[in-house]
Amino acid sequence: MDLGIKGKVALVTGGSRGLGKQCALSLAREGVNVAICGRTGASIDGTVSELRTLGADSIGVVADVSEVSGLESLHKQVVDGLGPMDILVNNVGGSRSRGDILEVTLEDFKGTFDLNLFGGFQLMKLAIPHMKDQKWGRIINIASIWGREHGGALSYMSAKAALIGATKHAGLTLAPHGILVNSIAPGSIAHEGGSWERFQNENPPEVVSDFIDQNLPMGRFGWPQPVGDVAAFLASERASLITGSCIVVDGGQSHSMI
């Protein structure tokens, strides 16, 4: 299936590893020129090399998306290196606190929003003018099933729920301008260096097996490729009637019917 996005320019935040890397690879396979950012130069360079072997023009930028003051510089480096962004994948996320309401500090609560919501919001604001001028754009925000229903830490769950809400509102606002905004809610996806890999490495086999039996209907942790391919589809012409939506990629893990 030709997704119709060859030659487009994309930025994938946190694109050097994990789900971000897979989103970048899936886009590159469709002929998209991909910029990635991350906090570690070595991992960025390795992923950029992989993207180039797929025929993509690719650059990497060292940047911390949670530091909103540096995002104009990130945006400028992408535009200078590849051209204006047609596709934005806000992938960076995580938690600054794993506590509940009795334990989490306001500082850590805000920090988790910086990481999951505010950086992506600012990049959307920077990318939208070009998309609006050309009457075409795609924004994909990587959320979580724990932004749709109860699960995970308080700060993470709250920030991902806010990201899904912002995606819905922006999707409806920007639809008349040809800009489609959607989110993806992955479940427990294992990848190198990720939290679910650590969970499997740090716990006895019986604990891991019990978690799988109780939570993962497919009998295994998820893997990054389906998430990346859904992101590429949402960035494409084939998804031209989808906006403001949250697509769940979790192997049946979540329980919500909404």
Question: Got the DSSP string for 174-213?
Answer: HGGGTEEEEEEEE-SB--TTSHHHHHHHHS-HHHHHHHHH
- 235-238 contact pairs (CB < 8 A, 24+): 235/3, 235/5, 235/8, 235/10, 235/27, 235/30, 235/32, 235/87, 235/89, 235/138, 235/140, 236/3, 236/4, 236/5, 236/30, 236/138, 237/3, 237/4, 237/5, 238/1, 238/3, 238/4
**Which residue among the candidates 109, 156, 221, 233 is catalytic per the annotation?**
156
Give which of 65, 128, 72, 112 is closest to 91, Cα–Cα: 65
52 is catalytic: no
The DSSP result for 21-48, as a single string, is HHHHHHHHHTT-EEEEEES-HHHHHHHH
Torsion of CA 78, 235, 115, 190, to 10 degrees: -120
Give buried/exposed letters for 15-29 (b at 16+ CB in 10 A, else e). bbbbbbbbbbbbbbb
Task: Show the CA angle centred on residue 77, arms to residues 76 and 79, nearest 5°.
Answer: 65
Our CA dihedral for 107, 108, 113, 119, rounded to 10 degrees, sits at 80
**What residues act catalytically?**
156
